[in-house]
Amino acid sequence: MITLEKPAGLHVFAPHADPDGDCLARRLRAAQPWRDEVAWPDGFSCGIAHRLDGPTSGAVWVADDLDELARMRGWFAEGRLVKTYRFEARGDVPWSRHVVERPIAHDRARVARMVVQRGADTPHRGRWFEAHTEVERIAGRLWQARITTGVTHQIRVHAAFLGLALLGDRLYGGGPPLDGPAPFRLHHVGLVGPDGVTTAPVPLPAWADPIG
């Protein structure tokens, strides 16, 4: 297995609106054309084992063969992977650590948005998904988030629920989008699996490195 560094603003797979556009999978295929000879399952082209949203930068785990991919998919499904992110918040709070275990579902009125279950009657669409997020302050408004679940927009919506909407994340109250390749600041540091199996380190963006 290998680790790729995904820049902010680059899709993991080509979007439906631009199937021939630049993406991480296309770059990997160009560098390692042998991957096209493997019968990867649908949704896991080139052996890419998981996705990051377009605005999110960071580590992407890639299998080198079908057995590796099956093992990695099993870890994801069983919740045996700890995923670590860094984000910059728009606002601030008086505490430095919190755990959120509120379920998440699709917003009833806005297709692109998720909602946190605040009570039994919280409006939503479809089923509730269990979600576990731990957030811890690194410095100032720079935070670390660890998750073992992988619900759509999990960190963004849980952070907003805590009063820590990501800077520039307009969808969840983070203010106007930022200039540059990504509208908000979210970086995937990496994954840790059973027996210490882990992604290789990738560089931190300047905003995510308090040391500089």
Task: Determine the residue type at 149.
Answer: T
Positive or negative: CA dihedral 45, 51, 53, 55: negative
Please indicate whether residue 107 is annotated as part of the active site: no
Residue written as token pair 């609106």? 17
Give the whole-angstrom CA distance, residue 166 versus residue 188: 14
Please report which residue ranges of 83-208 form alpha helices under DSSP H.
154-161
- CB distance 14 to 45 below 8 Å: no
- Nearest CA to 86 out of 38, 126, 146, 44 is that of 146
The single residue of 18, 36, 53, 169 carrying the catalytic annotation is 53
CB 63 within 8 A of CB 1: yes
Q: Is 80 left (phi over 0), alpha (psi -120 to 50) or beta?
A: alpha
Active site residues: 53
